[in-house]
Amino acid sequence: MNQYEAAAQIADEIPEIQKEIVCAPVFGSAYLSVKVLANYTARMLQQHQLRQVQRCMTLAEKIYNRGNQLMKTAIENVFIFSFSSFRMSCSRQEWLEIQRVMPAVLFSLYIQQVLKPGV
């Protein structure tokens, strides 16, 4: 899956952000598309919409698993990196619930990123 296919996948699966995804310069940019997804995930978390957060994480995992190297890097550097701010914007109980439903691939990437020296 390249950046165009990933943007189309995000727009199809989360119609609420379709307008943001299909506009220039977002459409065709791996990093900006993933940033829109991460921002939407953060908004859903702030609104305590944990099902929507889970839906976003599942989509991010799908993009990561099917994506080319550019998409994998965008998920790691934008979406996974956002987890620290996600954690700050919810209660301890909510964060535990999110970790419980977080796809294993994303959780593993998050743990690797947190444990990386100098980060």
pLDDT digits (tens, 9 = 90+) for 40-62: 999 999 898 999 999 999 999 99
pTM, rounded to two decimals: 0.91
The confidence band for 119, taking pLDDT boundaries of 50, 70 and 90, is low
Here the tokens at position 108 are: 């593993």
Radius of gyration of the chain (CA): 13
- List, in sequence order, the alpha helices (H) in 2-115: 3-13, 18-22, 30-46, 50-66, 69-74, 83-88, 92-101, 104-115
pLDDT level of residue 118 (50, 70, 90 thresholds): low
Residue 85 · residue 44 · CB < 8 Å: no
